[in-house]
Amino acid sequence: MKHYVLVLDWAKDDSGEQGVSILAVAHSLSEAKKAFADHVEEEKAYAENSGWDVRSDTDTDFDAGEDGSYICDHTHLYIEEVE
């Protein structure tokens, strides 16, 4: 049986914090996309306020980070399919 995991990978250089969080587990892609939609606007706003470059913006993946310092300053929200 397939499951869909909503993952947030992030790092903030100013605080030195970083992490990976599982925000939701869904049993269908449509359910996972709803959870994604519930979280993505906050990540988009943070990226815009931080002046970050958007690398990916789809209905299953949002990835943004500071140009030249992505490893230290980024947010990546995505749906991962697992069995």
Calculate the average pLDDT of the chain.
94
pTM score over 0.95? no
| Domain chopping of the chain, boundaries | 3-82
- 5 in Cβ contact with 79 (< 8 Å): yes
pLDDT tens digit sequence for 49-69: 999 999 999 999 999 999 888
Tokens 């979280």: give the residue. 39
